[in-house]
Structure 1
Amino acid sequence: MEPLTEQRPVVRPAVYGFLRPGRASAARRTALRQALAVYCSTRELELVDVFTEHDNDQGSEGAFARLLNALAAGAYGVVLPTPAHLGPRAHATVRRTQVTGTGARILALRDHDHPRPSRVGPVPAPRQCELLPVLPVFGSRSQEGSW
């Protein structure tokens, strides 16, 4: 008898993480890596490696160049905390084209085009709801009974 589908091993799509933390503390860099790992785990993706670009990375040995080489080998995509981790706008546009040129997808934990609602500021007024009249329920009491 064959095992149930849920008991068969499943190959998860391989993804690579990419971070450009700038001057973030070690604790922040660790938190970003953990966020990528949790994101991948909850979406059944296999986080193969995380490439971290530092301000002094340049040339063919840079983290982004290594990411492109890994993606070209047939990975499903790259996972970013936000699209801003691709770099400044001019660089991000070129990098986005380079990543998608490998056939990989770009997955962002949080998209700048759809930001989360702000937790600060005034609380919006509750919406007014139309109250509906209460209707009697027939059959639960005698028809002559009072409500």
Structure 2
Amino acid sequence: MEPVTEHRRVNGPVVYGFLRLVKASTARQTALTRALTEYCRQHELLLSGIFTDRAAGAGDLSPAFTGLLDVLALPDAYGVVLPAVSHLGPRAIAAARQERIGVTGTRVLFVRGPRLHRPSGPRRSPASGSAVRCPRADCAAALHAEP
């Protein structure tokens, strides 16, 4: 009987990282690169390279993003992995970039998903007065609802 894939060395889907690091330190770049690497390891993805955008005013077609689009057009490309949606740039540029990635037919994966609007600070339980952290934005209303 053949062993299951968890017992064999297999290459995961091929992904490429993308970082937008305008005015970022070397330590931040190292930490974000480690985060992408660890995410890919946990999800059995093959991180084949990381493109780094350092240009603030390059628009949606910076040299790094153009390189990313080129490799996403390769037949074995599965997608792009980013620390967060903010690494695609400001909202207008991020929207254009997501559309361009979508045209390639590959996936966009975020290490940390988009943030939901949450009130700042911990919520207090009305009964006990102790701090309660809400895992979802909609639980705050449930904590303060009358029985």
TM-score by length of 2: 0.74
Cα distance in 2 for partners of 1:64, 1:7 equals: 36
Q: Which amino acid aligns with 1:82?
A: A
Alignment of 1:31-70 (within 5 A): 31-55=31-55, 58=58, 62-70=63-71
| Residue 123 of structure 1: how far off its partner (Å) | 4.7
Would the aligned equivalents of 1:76 and 1:105 in 2 still touch at CA under 8 Å?
yes
Q: Which amino acid aligns with 1:68?
A: L
1:23 match: 23
Would the aligned equivalents of 2:36 and 2:82 in 1 still touch at CA under 8 Å?
yes
Would the aligned equivalents of 2:79 and 2:106 in 1 still touch at CA under 8 Å?
yes
Q: Which amino acid aligns with 1:73?
A: L
Q: Which amino acid aligns with 1:40?
A: C
Does residue 87 of structure 1 match 2:86? no
| Residue 66 of structure 1: how far off its partner (Å) | 0.2
Cα distance in 1 for partners of 2:99, 2:7 equals: 39
Structure with larger Rg: 1
- The gaps in structure 2 that reach 5 residues or longer are 129-147
Going from structure 1 to structure 2, the CA distance change for 1:12 and 1:27 (only over 3 Å counts) comes to: same
Going from structure 1 to structure 2, the CA distance change for 1:92 and 1:29 (only over 3 Å counts) comes to: same
2:3 match: 4
- Report the aligned-residue RMSD: 2.6
CA shift digits 1:53-96 (9 cap, x unpaired): 01268597700000000000031110011101111111111110
Q: Which amino acid aligns with 1:23?
A: K
Would the aligned equivalents of 1:40 and 1:47 in 2 still touch at CA under 8 Å?
yes
Would the aligned equivalents of 1:18 and 1:52 in 2 still touch at CA under 8 Å?
yes
Aligned residues with identical type, % of pairs: 45
Cα distance in 1 for partners of 2:93, 2:121 equals: 33
Structure 2 SS opposite 1:67: helix
Structure 1 SS opposite 2:124: coil
| Residue 40 of structure 1: how far off its partner (Å) | 0.5
2:100 match: 98
